[in-house]
């Protein structure tokens, strides 16, 4: 198993355009602040979220990610504020980030708002060569045997539009791309996110919410998530997601095989109380890694004021 894990890590480290890319999430559907700074304050209450993801369980060196986020809005609702912290590890690679978010929320009509958001922070990229033990008696001269780290400023921008039933968002992450070949740690490519969703009533106790997410970096195949959820009795979200790669452009190597970049996920969210939410997702890759599932758990808490009693039901997005 150790050899498999080492080979996986070395493959990901050497695959052009892959190293130090944006972390993978499944439950972003319930907290878009992790992909779009304009989402800050959209629920007009204070929300805190914790997420842990273990990808390809059973393979040594497989990715693990932890995130914390909190956001809220000003009393008038004009401004949204947020804070994100993230730790992402893939074998010998580690990426840590801390960002502050600010969004301006403009009332477009009685039931719709448009938010423009900006996030600024620091990102640290680390490569620990001491973890790259391939089992050879002679060290690989191509691998740095020590630990190297780069601390860089990082910025994100986004827009988020929503009504009571519909939302769409567009954001750009990793705005600073140094392009400096002298850096010992590979920086992530700029990433673009486009999302949209709609909520419809199927009955007095059943709500249906389809949505999608497009993730693009123009160096690998376009990633597309198709999601469908049902809300039962304002307490339980049940649904799934299908993630696939689509050929929108050709700016990537032929080594990327589209049929090997597919996965599905089953997702559940339970409102234990109107304030406390628990979530779990189970992901399976539709390729050679199908025997190594991914697990993601989340915990959310909302802080209501007395005048927010009208909001003691789940916000749909």
pLDDT, residue 20, reads 44
Please check whether residue 53 is in contact with residue 26, taking contact to mean a CB–CB distance below 8 angstroms. yes
Please check whether residue 153 is in contact with residue 178, taking contact to mean a CB–CB distance below 8 angstroms. no
Q: Which residues of 34-43 are buried (b: 16+ CB within 10 A; e: fewer)?
A: bbbbbbbbbb
Query: What is the distance between the alpha carbons of residues 64 and 54, in angstroms, rounded to a whole number?
Result: 5
Query: What is the distance between the alpha carbons of residues 10 and 28, in angstroms, rounded to a whole number?
Result: 28
pLDDT, residue 144, reads 56
Please check whether residue 100 is in contact with residue 117, taking contact to mean a CB–CB distance below 8 angstroms. no
Tokens 């954001």 -> residue: 171
**Homologous superfamily of 36-134+144-249+259-303:** monomeric porin ompg (2.40.160.40)
Query: What is the distance between the alpha carbons of residues 61 and 17, in angstroms, rounded to a whole number?
Result: 19
pLDDT, residue 250, reads 73
Query: What is the distance between the alpha carbons of residues 62 and 131, in angstroms, rounded to a whole number?
Result: 13
Q: Which residues pair with residue 162 across a beta bridge?
A: 113, 167
Taking the CA atoms of residue 311, residue 213, residue 172 and residue 99 in that order, the dihedral angle to the nearest 10 degrees is 50
> Low-confidence residues of the chain, pLDDT below 70?
1-21, 132-145, 177-187, 252-261, 305-314
Tokens representing 203 are 């009955």
Torsion sign across C-alpha atoms 269, 273, 274, 276: negative
């Amino acid at each position: 198993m150790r050899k498999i894990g080492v080979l996986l890590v070395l493959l990901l480290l050497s695959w052009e355009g892959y190293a130090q890319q944006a972390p993978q999430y499944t439950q972003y559907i319930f907290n878009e602040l992790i992909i779009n700074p304009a989402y800050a304050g959209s629920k007009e209450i204070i929300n805190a979220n914790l997420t842990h993801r273990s990808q390809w369980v059973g393979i040594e060196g497989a990715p693990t990610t932890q995130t914390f986020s909190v956001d809220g809005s000003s009393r008038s609702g004009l401004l949204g504020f947020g804070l994100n912290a993230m730790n992402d590890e893939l074998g010998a690679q580690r990426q840590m980030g801390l960002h502050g978010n600010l969004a301006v929320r403009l009332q477009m009509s009685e039931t719709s708002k448009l938010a423009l958001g900006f996030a600024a922070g620091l990102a640290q990229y680390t490569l620990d060569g001491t973890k790259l033990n391939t089992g050879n008696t002679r060290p690989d001269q191509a691998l740095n045997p020590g630990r190297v780290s780069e601390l860089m400023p990082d910025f994100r921008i986004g827009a988020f539009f929503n009504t009571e039933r519909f939302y769409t968002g567009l954001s750009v992450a990793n705005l600073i791309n140094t392009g400096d070949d002298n850096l010992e740690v590979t920086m992530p490519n700029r990433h673009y996110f486009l999302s949209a969703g709609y909520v419809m009533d199927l009955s007095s106790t059943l709500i249906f919410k389809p949505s999608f997410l497009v993730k693009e970096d123009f160096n690998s195949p376009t990633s597309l998530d198709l999601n469908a959820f049902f809300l039962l009795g304002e307490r339980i979200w049940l649904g799934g997601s299908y993630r696939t790669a689509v050929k929108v452009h050709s700016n990537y190597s032929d080594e990327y095989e589209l049929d090997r970049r597919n996965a599905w996920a089953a997702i559940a969210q339970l409102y234990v109380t109107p304030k406390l939410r628990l979530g779990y997702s189970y992901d399976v890759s539709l390729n050679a890694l199908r025997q190594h599932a991914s697990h993601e758990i989340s915990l959310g808490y909302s802080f209501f004021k007395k005048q927010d009693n009208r909001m003691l039901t789940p916000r749909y997005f």
